[in-house]
Amino acid sequence: MDGVIIINKQKGFTSHDVVNVIRKKLNIKKVGHTGTLDPNATGVLPILVGKATKISKYLIEHNKTYIATIKLGEKTDTGDSEGQVIETKKVPKKLEKEEIEQVLTDFLGKQKQLPPIYSAIKVKGKKLYEYAREGQEVKIEPRDIEIYKIKLLEYKYNKIKIEVECSKGTYIRTLCEDISKKLETVGYMEELQRTKINEFKIENSLLLDDINIQNVEQKLIKIEEIFKEKNSIELNDKKLELFLNGVKLTYDLPNDIYKIYNNKCFVGIGIIENKLLKRDIVI
């Protein structure tokens, strides 16, 4: 069983918890994840099973889509509902849907974003949340992100629900705080659901309670399918043997990732660099 399972993670589970549950339920040692989700967040968490654990490096740069609920009028030290309220501020009484939508458009495009202090980013070998818990000050550098789409889904009772499509490295907690500030108040991320990572969609996901061999076999995305948009190379038996032994083969093709076949059977993934094909992942 080699491939990707899309899990709809429930609240209260860490990404590592999900890996452990699946490892036990399927009795498979090689299980990993990509696209970490906080325990308080829900939604799409791709789980890599068997030899698919080798392809995690190809999945970390993907764009992501979230649905987030912002609670206006209160700010927490963590930027989400897990933290302590550290500031309150009135929400403008005449806040209208059109005004919120206009503010949201201001966040479209490439920009710098300051990661939250309660995050796992490392500075000088130490995670930011460790500095925060110890009450130590640390300089946080802004990071390049991009918001591709942002849409208002609902606004009522001082709560805003938005849908955001963004680049890797975007902190939705920070985005929620920044939106609140633009609306002349404060706020925090009350709820977060990830609905999509590239082509991994929540409608194709499984809940942990539904994990069994039969369900996983039906939903498993095979490695060959993950690279369906990549070109392929057919190797004869002699070239296959060389390829499997790590010998680089000459091919006058553009630098890229290629699916490798032998007698029309999928073998694995190869990479061409400077007209040389080298082995990457063998299935």
Residues involved in catalysis: 38
Residue 87 structure tokens: 């500031």
Query: Across the strands, what pairs with 271?
Result: 257, 278
- How many CB atoms sit inside 10 A of residue 84's CB? 8
Residue 266 is encoded by which pair of tokens?
Answer: 């999928």
Q: Which of 57, 262, 247 is CA-nearest to residue 168?
A: 57
- What is the spatial distance between Cα 72 and Cα 157, in angstroms, rounded to a whole number? 9
Strands (E), 50-102: 64-72, 74-76, 85-88
Q: Which amino acid is at 273?
A: E
Alpha helices in 52-171 (DSSP H): 97-105, 128-133
* 8 Å CB contact between 51 and 224: no
Contact 131, 90 (CB under 8 A): no
257/269 Cα distance (integer angstroms):
7
Residue 275 backbone phi and psi in degrees, to 5: 65, 20
Q: What is the rounded CA–CA span in Å between residue 159 and residue 73?
A: 9
